[in-house]
Structure 1
Amino acid sequence: MRILGWVENVALMPEGIVLEAKMDTGATTSSLNALNKETFERDGKDWIAFDIIDPDDESNKIRLEREITRHVRIIRHSGNHQRRPVVEMGLCMGDVYRKKEVSLIDRTALSYQLLVGRNHMAGAILLDSKDKYLQAPDCNLD
């Protein structure tokens, strides 16, 4: 088990893009800030292209593509329903690598582009709720 803080730098894999992430044991599934979402078909399967904010230059965006694994229906506090696409995404947290589901949502009004849920942490990561930035991403995928 690795001990991480409640905020960590986490790498999106395989791209290696490092984002500041909130580690959230209250969230079942991880979620990522995804802007300008466009769905398309590739080899008979549904895919999605989306932008994330470049962590090195917030005026730039980085385009990513992933296959859609499913859609999830979220009931908001207001009672409204929201349908979100879900993709599989590898995350490197410290030296822990996990490829699990991530829901795509516009999180620009929130403090962190990436929220890491229990699905990426379970059985591998413990959180220290008083600390931040305990381990930089360092995963060897070879």
Structure 2
Amino acid sequence: MKNEPRYVIIASNEPKPMGETLLDYARPLIQQLPHDHTLEELKAVVIFAAVLWNVQVVEDISGAVRYLSKKMPPRLRVRPAKGLVLIRRMLTRKDQCFRDDHRLALAVDVHRDGSDLRVTAVGAVAELDALPSTVDGWPCNVGDIRSGRRHLPN
């Protein structure tokens, strides 16, 4: 285990803030909303786009299909077959238009600011941990606050 690489999660606004990127990515879905859509429906579409953005392996797609058919607001739900077509289009869009952006979209929030739509999100990337692997060997009682004593490894 000591020789296995470790990763840390780093927040990133590169190449641009994650909320802006997610809004660009979700635009085709947003444009398909009914003209009388609610804020709840708009939020659901952007959050669904974030779910798709975060798909890492084929197994994640079945969860996205379930989300689209059962967790979306009622009038936005679609059958699994139609959902798969939509998901494939969005995953293709990510690959073609956002290929160099490897962040995850986390803590997504959607709100209106007057007539403007605001999407905020944290972009996160995994990077190799620069700490030496000897950190794994620290004893559990280092800095035991309850006893008021600090034990340092030899």
TM-score, normalised by the number of residues in structure 2 = 0.27
When Rg is computed on C-alpha atoms for both structures, the one with the higher figure is 2
**More relative contact order, 1 or 2 (CA 8 Å, 6+ apart):** 1
Between structures 1 and 2, the one with greater strand share: 1
